[in-house]
């Protein structure tokens, strides 16, 4: 039986930038989040995630916890990063790659945290 992940984090961050890409036919949502610099190149074996919806913010919140206990939250406000979640790729399983680098400075050597097999469970209350 898989234990359900219940986020305990009390604050999140907004991505500085974001966009969709493909790698070996897989859709990847790339997010630039400088505040997550300490997660770059971190080793982990597993992670848990949950999508929350905040009606007051009109935002989806992606919460995740790595197996060693590090927990973070990313805010996808409807008029900002949330726009990425309305694209076709977000309606099926995808990957999230988080980097602390700005998009202008991305190279093949850029460090990132890769989270596989993400699925967004949409909330009817969101309407998007």
pLDDT digits (tens, 9 = 90+) for 77-125: 998 899 999 999 999 999 999 999 999 988 888 899 999 999 998 988 7
Task: Give the residue from 17, 85, 92, 16 showing the smallest Cα distance to 53.
Answer: 85
> Where along the chain do its domains lie?
17-112
How much is the pTM? 0.91
pLDDT digits (tens, 9 = 90+) for 4-15: 789 999 999 999
C-alpha to C-alpha distance for 42 and 99, rounded to whole angstroms: 12
């Amino acid at each position: 039986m898989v234990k359900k992940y219940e986020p305990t984090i009390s604050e999140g961050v907004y991505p500085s930038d974001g966009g969709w890409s493909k790698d070996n036919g897989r859709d990847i949502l790339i997010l630039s989040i400088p505040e997550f610099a300490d997660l770059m190149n971190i080793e982990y074996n597993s992670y848990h995630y949950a999508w929350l919806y905040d009606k007051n913010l009109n935002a989806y919140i992606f919460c995740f916890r790595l197996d060693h206990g590090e927990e973070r939250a990313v805010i996808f406000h409807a008029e900002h990063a949330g726009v990425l979640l309305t694209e076709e790729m977000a309606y099926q399983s995808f990957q999230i790659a988080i980097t602390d680098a700005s998009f202008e400075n991305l190279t093949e050597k850029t460090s990132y945290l890769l989270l596989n097999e993400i699925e967004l469970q949409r909330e009817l209350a969101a309407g998007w």
